[in-house]
A and B are shown apart, each in its own frame.
Chain A
């Protein structure tokens, strides 16, 4: 995966139910970094992630796929929706499994043109990567929440997704499944993928994340409350001025 992976969003705005759910936000996602997104229920976290991944139409948003490069030009969201859907992987809180086995669900992440032998090899690697070998023939719809999440991460791995947006990925999971999920996310991060995780369960991610952002009243700001000392480093680019980000880093 590419170390320079980066995407920049600006002017993210969503007017919904007569209120500014997201109010002209700016956000960058960088390869090899993990961002924890928190906020009250209904603050707009899911909406934000869905806009970033091209699944939900914003009132306004601009996207720059090559920020910082000469000639880079932010495009309106509507013009790059398909590109966002291809490049940014959104993982639902409860991942969707199609009818069929785990292997079938993994195969969906591979190009149809890929030769059969190569497909088989890739799928075996993915099963091993996500520790799903024992479940490869199981009906995917019958898996537990944790197992489904691992299948969905294995699909992202097969897709070689460089940007992952995860909506409450460990909600309703037992401790063991949480640890396994976080371990897989760490492997993504080590492979220079950009992660953005929306979660209320901050403690589980404290060893993984580089920054915390809070979505409140339509605005993004670095988190004020400390998570665990020494584990979170600042990336003072988004939400608030860099001076505040220093306070928020811990």
Chain B
């Protein structure tokens, strides 16, 4: 099967809403959206504290999060695998090869991106926003929400970048999810499997979906980063 034929078949699969294909897409979104939603609150809080508090080891922590940005997904996958495997410290939870394991791995993947980019957004935010809120007698938690609102475009860019990373990663999901049909098979692991089986049409169809997601995320990122500059 040549590339054009495979692509034509892939477009047909997408157009007729092939149930197997859309099930895989659904699993991908469910897992990645759950992971990003869980990761956002602690990541934003950590980024805010790193930007606004002076404490020993702060710079080391920032460098650590920046370093973790380039950590390969398979290393995260391996770590989570070892933790969740029967002999691992969390083996009793029996989460290996479940969607929960994939969510845990994707949280670990997204967290450094969220912290690093949100930290940059908070750093770039006007210090006066926090100070003004405090001098207006606004309690710290509410002042934090106000500052988040002021840098919302930068934070949204961080969320989109984090989501972009985890929806497309294959290594960690493969290792801790096991690529089980109807259960833990998501877009990237399905592409890897279909390609290895010579079933290029479904692989390309999923690739097109991934490409469309990536394009939409990048477009949104461009938009929100531009707005972020204006909001300062």
Contacts and interface: CB of A to CB of B under 8 A. Distances in A.
Interface string B103-127: 0000000000000000000000010
A86 B137 contact: yes
A96 B137 contact: no
A40 interface: no
A55 B135 contact: yes
B128 interface: yes
Interface in A68-107: 85-86, 88-90, 92, 94-96, 98-99
Contacts of A98: 129, 132, 146, 149-150
B24 to A, nearest CB: 40
B231 interface: yes
Contacts of B86: none
The secondary structure that dominates the B interface is helix
A152 B131 CA distance: 13
Contact of A96 (B132, B138, B149): B132
A85 B134 contact: yes
Contacts of A53: 135
B36 to A, nearest CB: 24
Interface string A120-152: 000000000000000000000000000000001
27 contacts: A53-B135, A55-B135, A85-B134, A85-B135, A85-B137, A86-B137, A88-B135, A90-B135, A92-B128, A94-B128, A96-B126, A96-B131, A98-B129, A98-B132, A98-B146, A98-B149, A98-B150, A99-B150, A99-B231, A108-B138, A109-B136, A111-B137, A112-B142, A152-B132, A155-B136, A159-B136, A159-B137
Q: Which of B126, B131, B135, B136 has the most CB of A within 10 A?
A: B135
Contacts of A88: 135
Nearest to B147: A98
Q: Which of B134, B138, B149 has the most CB of A within 10 A?
A: B134
Given A55-B135, A108-B136, A108-B146, 14 more contacts: A53-B135, A55-B134, A88-B135, A89-B135, A90-B131, A96-B128, A98-B129, A98-B132, A98-B146, A98-B149, A98-B150, A108-B133, A155-B136, A159-B137
Nearest to B231: A99
A88 B136 CA distance: 10
Contacts of A109: 136-137
B143 to A, nearest CB: 10
A99 B232 CA distance: 10
A55 B128 CA distance: 10
Interface residues of B, number: 16
Lowest 4 A-B CB distances belong to which pairs?
A96-B128, A96-B132, A85-B134, A109-B136
Interface of A: 53, 55, 85-86, 88-90, 92, 94-96, 98-99, 108-109, 111-112, 152, 155, 159
Nearest to B232: A141
Given A99-B231, A159-B137, A92 B132 contact: yes
Contacts of A152: 132
A49 B126 CA distance: 19
A110 to B, nearest CB: 9
Contacts of A96: 126, 128-129, 131-132
B150 to A, nearest CB: 6
A183 B209 CA distance: 63
Nearest to B139: A112
Q: Which of B131, B136, B137, B138 has the most CB of A within 10 A?
A: B136
B230 to A, nearest CB: 10
B136 A92 contact: no
A108 B131 CA distance: 13
B188 to A, nearest CB: 38
Nearest to B137: A86
Given A55-B131, A92-B128, A99 B149 contact: yes
A67 to B, nearest CB: 22
Contacts of B138: 108
Contacts of A95: 128, 132
B193 to A, nearest CB: 47
Given A86-B137, A109-B136, A92 B131 contact: yes
Contacts of B146: 98, 108
